[in-house]
Chains A and B, each alone.
Chain A
Amino acid sequence: MPHRLKSILQDLDVVVILAALLIVAAIFKASTFYNMSNLFAILELSAVLGIAALGQALVLIVRGVDISVGAMMGLAATLSAYLIPDLGIAAAIVLPLIACGLFGLCNGLLIEKGRIPPIVATIGMMWVVGGLAGSISNGRLIPIQNEAFKQIALGSVFEIVPMFFVGLLVIGAIAYLVRSNFAIGRYVYAIGGDEGAAYYSAIPVGRIRIAVYGVAGVLYGIAGLLMASYVRSGMPALGKGYEFKAITAAVLGGIALSGGRGNIFKAVMGAVILIVLYGVITAFAVSPYVQGMIQGLILVGAVYYATRND
């Protein structure tokens, strides 16, 4: 099965990048990079970005893009921190996710029914959602005292794998299962691959696209809640910049900006690579400004590499 082998080799490129980064860290900065607390933090932040990147990847596959990722994460975190003293942990998890899902559906409706380009609709949503989170918190950081909520970030399996990462693996596995074993997974790819053909095949293109933005909203919400647990507080700016990090991770994982192509599981790998890279850069004590420059170069480089290989 030669094309099978070929696709396995193609799938390995992200693993190769990851291995290269880890080797660089091992050679030059073993003591600062390879200690338990640093690796633990890297896995936790990988999970946060990985889940957000999964949402972004879904949107990219249907030929969209979502700029409201960071604002949605901020809303979920803020809302959760605001609600938790009065309503308890269950409501403080469920209600923010419902809110993010609804705002995601609004994105989808604006794009599908309102015919507004995705980038415009989701920039608008970014400001609306950000403004809402700001009104709830009055612009301030809301500390979280709830022990159970804080425990989410501290929990682990055998003290090695953070609960966050287990969550990422569960969500990733569900996504993979749906992609490969259910018709809806194929429909999402068909819409991105050729919308006309999808329509001729009697696929409910509009409803699926709206749903994709809704599901993506819920995923951003989960990422936001994890982040809130990690920093033990909620604030609107908590997810700042995550929209572009999520795009970078998805592209690094081989999700085509032109839609219809790319393995969503690899988008998660892209997120892991990005966070490991940040870890390595931090170990070298590079300034955050240089870090920003490197991030920009990675995004452009990944898109360049991807379009060359089309």
Chain B
Amino acid sequence: MTYRLELEDVTKHYGNTRALQGVSIAIPAGKIRGLVGENGAGKSTLSKIIAGDIKPTSGTMKLDGVEVPYLTPASARQAGIAIVHQWGDLVPTMTVEENIFLGNEIRGPFGALNKSEMRNKARATLRQLGVDVDTRLPVSQLSPAHKQIVAISKALMKQCDLLIVDEGGVSLDKKETVLLHSVLRQLREQKVTIIYISHLLDDVVALSDEISVMRNGTLVEALNGKDTTADKLAAAVVGHEIRGSTRAAAPVGFDDRKSLLDVRGLSWANDGSAFSFAVREGEILGITGPEGAGKSELLRTVFGLMPATRGTVSFNGEVIDRRSPRLMLERGAAFVPEDRFVEGLLLNRSIEENVSLPHVGLQGNFFLGRKLLRGEATRKTTQIRTKMASIDAPVKDLSGGNQQKVVISRWLEDSYRLLLLDEPYKGIDIGAKDDINQEIGAMAGKGRGIVVISTEFAELIGLVTTLLVVVNRRIVATLTGDAITPHEIVRYYQYEVETPVPSSEAAHMSPAGH
């Protein structure tokens, strides 16, 4: 049997980091191959190598049984390979038909565009895929599923027969996912080979003929799509070496504590989503879920960085309506943003200035107490074990982990009763993760409430007292205590769940939205 694509012993190193290690994969023609794995498992590195976007460090590649040199984007296209990024291939201001032929226009005499032929072909392709879209609409007006399908149509116009779909199902609802699946199955009928990459395990199980599981840059398992369940797949994705599970279990039993934050029916969109949850004193609430599920938006809405479309946020028993970061800070809630480079740090300024930043405006004096601020900054950064040459060194000289510590050390004072952290583990090493988690634990020990968002849920296990799993702008599970296990979490990474929420849950922590 010849395969459409074979990779043998492919390795990719970035400096000392091994993104891929000895990956061998063979993909038969005309099948749908699912590719799953956690963040950083190597899925996107692998897909970029296949699409010619990056060159592997070593290994061989065969197309239809013939060994080929490493691909470039142009030679990959020549070979009929196309990749659909999460609708990043479309220009939102341009129409469907303009997008489908962008960079690949059909021209008539004098190089003039043959608009009627392009329109007809665009319509025919979309009709063949079984979708009804007005090709004259700007792409910005389409639903997520239709955008995805337009992006696929665009790839098909380039005579592609090996299609990589990267995170196709993310942010689609169930009906839209069904539509996307039917389109991809349709393509399989037309002998197109498809590599389908997704976080959403049910999505992959429902669609794929075969599924490859990646972990830490290697292929660890190959499963047959027909007799695999999402549960089995979850076990394969997570593996058994979970760092978090070795930690002491987090304390439970906060039901009688005073409520700090009470979020009811909150949403930032008009899609029927509504989030409800509460954080009590001393409680660490974790929020996890696939990328694009709406975790970050939820926290930003709570903190007043995004306007809410509905719902209420109470803090210390008081409903706060017109939230703004300044108002929330004055009330004693602090926020650590996901992108510390853009939103968190002044990279060229010193550690001292960065730590003191929020306190300068709030201390109420006209003159800065330089000496006081400096002392405070030194104490705080030392407490959280920041490795630095001097408090006056610019923040850009620090490693990612130490930069994150600088951001967090701004909020070490107990007067900040609530601390919201958005992806604090992003791009930092294990040592720094442990230091940060230790500090989070210490803060909670003093009765402060903490909310931590992370897609790296292994970090949250053993740390948080309650864990919300958010998928497609819905809380699909609320886990507490011993129920917070990797297998349990990944089980909920699905686009639609008939929710088995444990009955021991506090009544107000119900999964919300429909």
Contact = CB atoms under 8 A, between A and B. Distances in A.
Contacts of B111: 182-183
B73 A202 contact: yes
Given A198-B102, A201-B103, A189 B94 contact: yes
Contact of A193 (B92, B136, B154): B92
Given A3-B136, A182-B113, A197 B91 contact: yes
Interface string A200-223: 111100000000000000000000
A194 interface: yes
A22 B88 CA distance: 46
A261 B103 CA distance: 18
Interface in A130-164: none
A183 B102 CA distance: 8
A181 B77 CA distance: 26
A50 interface: no
Nearest to A4: B136
Nearest to B115: A181
Interface in B102-152: 102-105, 107, 111-113, 115, 136-137
A117 interface: no
Contacts of B89: 197, 200-201
Interface string B466-494: 00000000000000000000000000000
Contacts of A182: 111-113
Given A194-B92, A198-B91, A181 B113 contact: yes
Contacts of A201: 89, 102-104, 154
A266 to B, nearest CB: 15
B93 A183 contact: no
Contacts of B136: 3
B113 A190 contact: no
Contact of A183 (B73, B88, B90, B113): B113
Interface string A69-93: 0000000000000000000000000
Interface residues of A: mostly helix, strand, loop or mixed?
A: helix
A187 B105 CA distance: 10
A19 to B, nearest CB: 29
A194 B73 contact: no
Contacts of B423: none
Contacts of B113: 181-183, 186
B102 A260 contact: no
A183 B107 contact: yes
Nearest to A260: B93
A202 to B, nearest CB: 5
Interface string B252-279: 0000000000000000000000000000
Contact of B93 (A189, A196, A202, A203): A189
A197 B88 contact: yes
A200 to B, nearest CB: 5
B101 to A, nearest CB: 8
Given A182-B111, A182-B112, A182-B113, A202 B103 contact: yes
A35 to B, nearest CB: 43
B85 interface: yes
Contacts of A187: 103
A192 B115 CA distance: 21
Interface string B64-98: 00000000011001000000010011111110001
Contacts of A200: 85, 88-89
Q: Is the interface of B mostly helix, strand, loop or mixed?
A: loop
B275 to A, nearest CB: 28
A86 to B, nearest CB: 39
A243 to B, nearest CB: 25
Given A181-B112, A186-B98, A261-B93, A196 B88 contact: yes
Contacts of B154: 201
B85 A186 contact: no
Nearest to B74: A202
Contacts of B92: 193-194
Interface in A222-271: 260-261
A193 B94 contact: yes
B157 to A, nearest CB: 11
A182 B93 CA distance: 18
A117 to B, nearest CB: 18
Nearest to B111: A182
A193 B139 CA distance: 11
Of A3, A189, A194, most B-chain CB atoms within 10 Å: A194
Nearest to A259: B93
Contacts of A194: 90-93
Contact of B102 (A3, A181, A203): A203
B325 to A, nearest CB: 23
Contact of B103 (A181, A189, A203): A203
Contacts of B85: 200
A194 B74 CA distance: 20
A261 B93 CA distance: 7
Nearest to A184: B111
Contact of B90 (A181, A189, A192, A197): A197
Nearest to B158: A202
B406 to A, nearest CB: 28
A260 B112 contact: no
A11 to B, nearest CB: 16
A79 to B, nearest CB: 33
A195 B91 CA distance: 8
A198 B94 CA distance: 11
B454 to A, nearest CB: 27
With most chain A CB atoms within 10 A of its CB, the pick from B77, B90, B93, B112 is B93
Contacts of A261: 93
Interface string A5-17: 0000000000000
A235 to B, nearest CB: 41
Contacts of B90: 194, 197
A250 B502 CA distance: 61
Nearest to B137: A3
B93 A186 contact: no
Q: Which of A183, A187, A261 has the most CB of B within 10 A?
A: A183
A196 B151 CA distance: 14
Contacts of B104: 201-202
A182 B108 CA distance: 10
B471 to A, nearest CB: 27
A190 B112 contact: no
Given A198-B103, A260-B94, 4 more contacts: A183-B105, A190-B91, A197-B88, A260-B93
The 9 closest A-B pairs by CB, nearest first: A201-B103, A193-B91, A193-B93, A183-B105, A194-B91, A201-B102, A260-B93, A202-B103, A181-B112
18 contacts: A3-B137, A183-B105, A183-B107, A186-B98, A186-B102, A187-B103, A189-B94, A190-B91, A190-B102, A194-B92, A194-B93, A197-B102, A200-B85, A201-B154, A202-B74, A202-B77, A202-B104, A260-B93
Interface of B: 73-74, 77, 85, 88-94, 98, 102-105, 107, 111-113, 115, 136-137, 154
